[in-house]
Amino acid sequence: MNTNNTEIGLEDFATTPADAAPAAPTETPDEASASTAPTASQMEAVYEIPVKITAVIGTATMPVSQLLKLGRGAVVELDKKLGEAVDIYANNRLIARGEVVVVDDNHIGVTMTEILSSSSSSAS
């Protein structure tokens, strides 16, 4: 086992409270925010993170026995009414509501009609 902890970044964990160095001087709030502000290159990395977008037109709950009886052409009634807004999720977090639209002959999309604030989406 390697006891030279500085090579792997464990210098903070290698000291005991008795060995600990005196605390560094505290920064003012202005200095702290300036030192933690993200740079343009750091923000570029964030922009490349994939986000899964899901539009839920409705949900249904049924017993397994009923699910097993479903066949081709079966209709599953959902909890939303025709014309009611669909829920739009980003990584399983409700972010907006919208309407289903036709994008071209073979695709559908969702127009966002209501963007939810972070406080209202966290309550859901």
What DSSP line would sit under 13-49, residue for residue?
HH--TTTPPPPPPPPPHHHHHHHHPPPHHHHHHHHTS
Q: Provide the percentage of residues in the chain whose pLDDT is more than 70.
A: 67
Query: What parts of the chain have a pLDDT lower than 50?
Result: 1-21, 121-122, 124
Q: Which domains does the chain have, with CATH numbers?
A: 52-122 (2.30.330.10)
Q: What is the pLDDT of residue 4?
A: 46
Q: What is the pTM for the complete model shown?
A: 0.59
Q: What is the pLDDT of residue 18?
A: 46
Beta bridge partners of 115: 96
